[in-house]
Copies of this chain bind each other. A is one copy, B any other.
Amino acid sequence: MRLDELGEFGLIDRIISRLGASAATDILVPPGDDAAAWTTSAGAVVATIDALAEGTHWRADTMTLFDVAWRAVAANVSDLAAMGAEPGYLLVASALGPDVTVEALDGFADGLATACRVHNVRVAGGDIVRARSTLFSIAAFGAATLVSGEPHFLRRSGARAGDAIAVTGTPGASGAGLALINAGRADAPGGDELIEAHRRPIARARVGQQAATLGLRCAIDISDGLAQDIGHVARRSGVGIEIATAQLPLHPAAVELLGHNAALDLALGGGEDFELVLTGPRDVLRSLDSESVPVTLIGRVVAEHPGEVVIWTVDGEEYRPPSRGWDQLRPLER
């Protein structure tokens, strides 16, 4: 069916109905008015916005809009997780290129609903417009975690010399999944978890909140690439960062299917992961480790070389990965 046959308001009704319980129909002002409204008990709102553009963040020939919606939800929840906040509501702006069909948008709504359930968030409103190319922009809102009654955040500026550094999950897994997809090897035996990590990532909201509750002060989401993103921590905190390649928890399937070196480089600079890097006392970081979300120590914060990230091999050599991450202003079409 063509979009202009359905019309804007028909489409909005259709999306809200497919969202089911993922549409926040019980808030003060639910979807469908000029704006949405809800109460906050904590007294501190945490908010973020992200945009995912076709051609930059996904290719229409390898990703369905179900998966795009999922990744968009995860990307936003991940930003809130990196602040230690409890995710709550989403606003979803959809800019539809000329080729988008109603059926593809049904998939988008279904992906949104499923990812909302998995991440325990709901859609409070949105906007739909026509555009020359397809893009989705999601804003997400959460409540700050309270410590001793005060809002407490995990900040990029919160690292201190002497902290240990940990990462959630297996960085590079999502990038490895994308590499398999782009190489036409999405069906490679053993690659299922990598493809899943790319198409259906789960942001680490529980770990982030737990870290804030435990009084940790520093985290960052590594969706642009571990080495680059932890560089923000180094500069904002005025500290040096040292990472040991041997400690990085590479996904075994990434090592097996792409080789150790490629898996390592994807972990350091591939981006695409909605994992968290956290700093703090070694014992506190270790206590975050669980069967469902592994948390692994990968390095330490030092007073030397402030603002710099140094990556050490097991032989004590400095390692320089081909890429440290993803600059959003690099030319299009990777």
Contact = CB atoms under 8 A, between A and B. Distances in A.
Contacts of A29: 46, 83, 153, 155
A54 to B, nearest CB: 7
A266 to B, nearest CB: 20
A9 B325 CA distance: 13
Chain copies in the assembled complex? 2
A259 to B, nearest CB: 29
A36 B48 contact: yes
Interface in A28-49: 28-29, 32-41, 43-49
B55 A7 contact: no
B221 A79 contact: no
B141 A47 contact: yes
A248 to B, nearest CB: 21
A145 B50 CA distance: 28
Interface string A52-65: 11111100000000
A98 interface: yes
Interface string A102-146: 000000000000000000000011111111110101011110100
A107 B129 CA distance: 24
Interface of A: 3-4, 6-9, 11, 28-29, 32-41, 43-57, 78-80, 82-83, 85, 89, 91-96, 98, 124-133, 135, 137, 139-142, 144, 151, 153, 155-157, 219-221, 236, 327-332
7 contacts: A29-B83, A37-B153, A51-B131, A51-B135, A54-B132, A127-B137, A131-B133
